[in-house]
Amino acid sequence: MLVSSTTRMNEKALDIAAARHQAILGNLANSDTPVYKSRFVSFEEELEKATEGKMPLEGITSHKRHFKISGSGEAGLIKIAVLGPYVFNTNGNSVDMDYEMSLMAKNQLAYSVFAESVSGHYKKMNGLLRDLK
């Protein structure tokens, strides 16, 4: 098998980082929009609830003989939520530009780490396949 479970996990982490980036960009674009509430991707919070037994993990099956895991799939773990009733501007807007920029920098670092991991895996597989010739 050419794709490991770690690589699949890293690919999903890339999806989460991309969703997080879109939420941050939306917040920055709406920083002057009256009454706009900041949004965030809450993957870690949902995963924490699931692992503490507060909510069962959801999964999907791709074959009739696979074990059933309750729910509709891992995509349900990526949620975009509104960040509380906080107001940082006089127009009712809750976007804090400094916080959003720090989140963007943190997210970019995480994305780079996961992308390098996935890229390294496929480079290694490519090298192994070339050596078979």
User: How much is the mean pLDDT over the chain?
Assistant: 77
Summarize pLDDT for 32-52 with one digit per residue, the tens.
Answer: 899 888 888 876 665 566 556
Structural domains in the chain (count): 1
Query: Is residue 87, in this structure, part of any structural domain at all?
Result: no
Residue 29: pLDDT band (50, 70, 90) is very high
DSSP element (H, E) containing 9: helix 5-29
Would residue 112 count as lying in a domain?
yes
Whether 129 maps to a domain, the answer reads yes
Mean pLDDT, residues 58-86: 62
Quick check: is 116 in a domain? Answer: yes
Domain enclosing residue 119, as ranges? 1-32+96-133
The answer as to whether 2 is a domain residue is: yes
Tell whether 61 is covered by a domain: no
Closest CA to 2 of 115, 111, 127, 113: 127
121 located within any domain: yes
Is a pLDDT exceeding 90 seen at residue 119? Answer: no
Asked whether residue 17 carries a pLDDT value surpassing 60, the answer given is: yes
The mean pLDDT of 50-66, rounded to a whole number, is 63
Give domain status of residue 62, yes or no.
no
